[in-house]
């Protein structure tokens, strides 16, 4: 029986529903409380257990504008849950004899370079997809994030050589999207298909993911798709969809609960589709879920994990008494998602949301997971609700303190004059940032290549200003610190975020801006 037919059974028969510790009504109530607690407009949730879909529902609304109900069929950008598809596709090429995980990247992309010549020569396809490049967290993400930049895949391949490493090669986990973009280019050059065509024709179609697309722009029917939302200055607002097509191999897929549960069933069936088609050898499928880059486990880990790390496109860990958990999360501006499998329990959990608050999906996933692992009610809603509220207060206090200083700085005589700082500042990988001044409007800052990054530049003290972006949904205001020469003229600038809540993909900290005009 096709997996999706169980959705009809779900409505007629509750015998398969959930576990002894949580029922349908309890889960409904939890999700509704989660919507309220974390100010999320809509959430869809799916559970696959022991060969059956036991829960598949949407709650809330897909958009604050149209107020239409969120349902299990509502399409959502699954973001970095796409990384598992990228690695599955590369593994198919390994099976086909066209690629090896330990091929040097330069075998397939001769122009590929990193900052260190030795690392460039040693860097493998496996290194591209295991977050161990030596680069810092989110290094270079400003080339595609937020949407609206003009950077191409070739630009990214060319520019990563300018990114200075933060650690030695293969010594440390640091999440990196640009390496996955380059992995997508490896797939294209080896297979002869674009990443999007490969994912849709070679994976989604045979798996049975009939409503999913490899990118937002490929969704022709947007009648049942979310709008993105975020908290901006104390209020949840709708924002435009935001994901650059350049970055699809790192996070471009759009899907829904039925299709993601179909994906879970397929994976937990050893990469064999419901019609019996094997898409990946047992050897290569096994390789995907092997730990490649270790992560530290807290002594107080909530699931008594002994190990945790990253495989090939997946996080892997053991949870309560040795159950292997394979999982990933995804985040776009205005959307976060979570996909979890515990294969030996034949359990898959999908949580898709239209607001960028990870506490919401953690609350739901952990509660469901606990029910099947035999934990007593640990009240994740209360725990995450409190930490979320505390985090908002903490970050708001930091921002309020900074803008209080900005207000006081209006009376300072030590603030640089316009002629000292206006001009063009250039970073090797990000390009030009222009600072200008108007007698009435004050200072402005604008990126040349990322058109949506522009805003006010507000004086803070004798060396530092605050960039206040016009798009307040970014929640990514930064300090801009200038270095001056002996004449009092700015010669360079660096940026650092004001508050920890800033998404790591706003990678301002890696910019080294030198005044060129």
Q: Both 81 and 212 in a single domain?
A: yes
User: What angle do the packed helices 83-95 and 178-191 form, to 10 degrees?
Assistant: 30
How many C-beta atoms surround the C-beta of residue 1 within 10 A?
Answer: 9
387 domain residue, yes or no: no
Q: What is the mean pLDDT of residues 207-213?
A: 98
* Interatomic CA distance for residues 353 and 330, integer angstroms: 10
Taking alpha carbons only, the member of 454, 462, 374, 450 closest to residue 21 is 374
Listed residues 356, 378, 400: the one ending a domain: 378
92-123 pLDDT, tens digit per residue, is: 999 999 999 999 999 999 999 999 999 999 99
389 domain residue, yes or no: no
Q: Both 46 and 139 in a single domain?
A: yes
Q: Both 75 and 192 in a single domain?
A: yes
CATH number, domain of 148, equals 3.40.710.10
Largest CA distance in the chain: 79
Sorting pLDDT into bands at 50, 70 and 90, what band is 12? very low
* Interatomic CA distance for residues 372 and 470, integer angstroms: 46
388 domain residue, yes or no: no
* Interatomic CA distance for residues 358 and 468, integer angstroms: 25
Question: Can you give the pLDDT at residue 18?
Answer: 64
401 domain residue, yes or no: no
Which residues sit opposite 55 in a β-bridge? Answer: 47
403 domain residue, yes or no: no
Q: What is the mean pLDDT of residues 216-230?
A: 96
Q: Both 45 and 139 in a single domain?
A: yes
Q: Both 340 and 472 in a single domain?
A: no
Cβ pair 372, 344 in contact under 8 A: no
Q: What is the mean pLDDT of residues 491-503?
A: 97
Question: Can you give the pLDDT at residue 233?
Answer: 87
Question: Can you give the pLDDT at residue 11?
Answer: 38
Q: Is the pLDDT of residue 425 over 90?
A: yes
DSSP-derived letter for residue 245 is G
Which residues sit opposite 444 in a β-bridge? Answer: 436, 456
Q: What is this structure's pTM?
A: 0.95
Cα radius of gyration rounded to whole Å, the chain = 24
Q: Both 331 and 431 in a single domain?
A: no
256-302 pLDDT, tens digit per residue, is: 999 999 999 999 999 999 999 999 999 999 999 999 999 999 999 99
Listed residues 328, 353, 378: the one ending a domain: 378
Please count the residues of the chain.
Answer: 517
Please tell me the total count of domains within the chain: 2
DSSP-derived letter for residue 421 is H
447-493 pLDDT, tens digit per residue, is: 999 999 999 999 999 999 999 999 999 999 999 999 999 999 999 99
Q: Is the pLDDT of residue 515 over 60?
A: yes
Q: Both 336 and 428 in a single domain?
A: no
Q: Is the pLDDT of residue 14 over 70?
A: no
384 domain residue, yes or no: no
Which residues sit opposite 42 in a β-bridge? Answer: 60
114 domain residue, yes or no: yes
Q: Both 10 and 102 in a single domain?
A: yes
Question: Can you give the pLDDT at residue 234?
Answer: 87
Q: Both 445 and 488 in a single domain?
A: yes
116-170 pLDDT, tens digit per residue, is: 999 999 999 999 999 999 999 999 999 999 999 999 999 999 999 999 999 999 9
Domain that holds residue 455: 411-515
Q: Both 171 and 215 in a single domain?
A: yes
Q: Both 340 and 416 in a single domain?
A: no
Q: Are strands 235-239 and 254-255 parallel, antiparallel or unpaired?
A: unpaired
CATH number, domain of 504, equals 2.40.128.50
Q: Both 373 and 473 in a single domain?
A: no
Give me 317's structure tokens: 């860990």
Listed residues 378, 395, 430: the one ending a domain: 378
- Tokens 């798996």 belong to residue: 207
DSSP-derived letter for residue 30 is H
362 domain residue, yes or no: yes
Q: Coil, strand or helix: which one is 37?
A: helix
How many C-beta atoms surround the C-beta of residue 7 within 10 A?
Answer: 16
Q: What is the per-residue DSSP string for 67-93? A: -PBP-TT-BEE-GGGGHHHHHHHHHHH
* Separation in Å, CA 420 to CA 96, 415, 431, 486, 496: 60, 10, 21, 12, 21
């Amino acid at each position: 029986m096709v997996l999706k037919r169980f959705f009809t059974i779900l409505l007629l028969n509750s015998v398969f529903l959930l576990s002894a510790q949580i029922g349908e009504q309890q889960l409904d109530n939890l999700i509704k409380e989660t919507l309220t607690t974390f100010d999320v407009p809509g959430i869809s949730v799916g559970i696959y257990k022991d060969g059956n879909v036991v829960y598949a529902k949407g709650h809330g609304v897909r958009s604050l504008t149209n107020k239409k109900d969120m349902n299990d069929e509502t399409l959502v950008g699954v973001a970095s849950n796409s990384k598992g598809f990228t690695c599955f596709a590369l593994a198919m090429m390994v099976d086909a004899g066209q690629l090896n995980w330990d091929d040097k990247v330069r075998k397939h992309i001769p122009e590929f370079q990193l900052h260190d010549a030795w690392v460039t020569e040693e860097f493998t396809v496996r290194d591209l997809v295991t977050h161990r490049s030596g680069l810092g967290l989110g290094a270079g993400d400003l080339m595609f994030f937020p949407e609206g930049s003009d950077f191409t895949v070739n630009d990214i391949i060319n520019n990563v050589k300018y990114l200075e490493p933060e650690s030695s090669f293969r010594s440390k986990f640091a999440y990196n999207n640009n390496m996955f973009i380059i992995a997508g280019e490896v797939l294209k050059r080896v297979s002869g298909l674009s990443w999007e065509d490969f994912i849709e024709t070679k994976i989604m179609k045979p798996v049975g993911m009939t409503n999913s697309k490899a990118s937002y722009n490929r969704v022709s029917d947007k009648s049942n798709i979310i709008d993105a939302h975020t908290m901006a200055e104390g209020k949840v607002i709708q924002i435009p969809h935001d994901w650059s097509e350049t970055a699809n191999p790192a996070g471009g897929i759009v899907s829904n609960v039925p299709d993601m549960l179909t994906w879970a069933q397929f994976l937990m069936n050893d990469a064999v589709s419901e019609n019996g088609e094997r898409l990946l050898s047992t050897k290569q499928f096994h390789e995907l879920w092997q730990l490649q880059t270790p992560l530290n486990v807290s002594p107080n880990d909530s699931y008594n994990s002994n190990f945790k790390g990253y495989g090939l496109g997946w996080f892997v860990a053991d949870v309560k008494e040795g159950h292997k958990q394979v999982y990933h999360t995804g985040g776009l501006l205005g959307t976060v998602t979570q996909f979890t499998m515990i294969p030996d329990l034949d359990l898959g959990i999908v949580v898709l949301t239209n607001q960028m608050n990870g506490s919401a999906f953690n609350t739901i996933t952990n509660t469901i997971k606990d029910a099947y692992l035999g934990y007593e009610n640990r009240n994740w809603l209360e725990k995450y609700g409190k930490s979320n509220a505390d985090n908002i207060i903490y970050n708001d206090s930091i921002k309020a303190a900074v803008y209080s200083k900005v207000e006081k700085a209006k009376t300072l005589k030590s603030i640089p004059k316009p002629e000292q700082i206006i001009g063009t500042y250039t970073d090797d990988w990000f390009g030009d940032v222009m600072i200008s001044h108007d007698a009435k409007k004050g200072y402005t800052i604008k990126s040349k290549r990322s058109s949506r990054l522009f805003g006010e530049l507000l004086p803070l003290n004798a060396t530092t200003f605050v960039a206040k972006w016009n798009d307040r949904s970014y929640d990514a205001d930064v300090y801009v610190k200038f270095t001056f020469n002996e004449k009092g003229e700015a010669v360079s600038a660096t940026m650092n975020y004001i508050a920890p809540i800033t998404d790591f993909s706003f990678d301002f900290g890696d910019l080294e801006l030198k005044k060129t005009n």
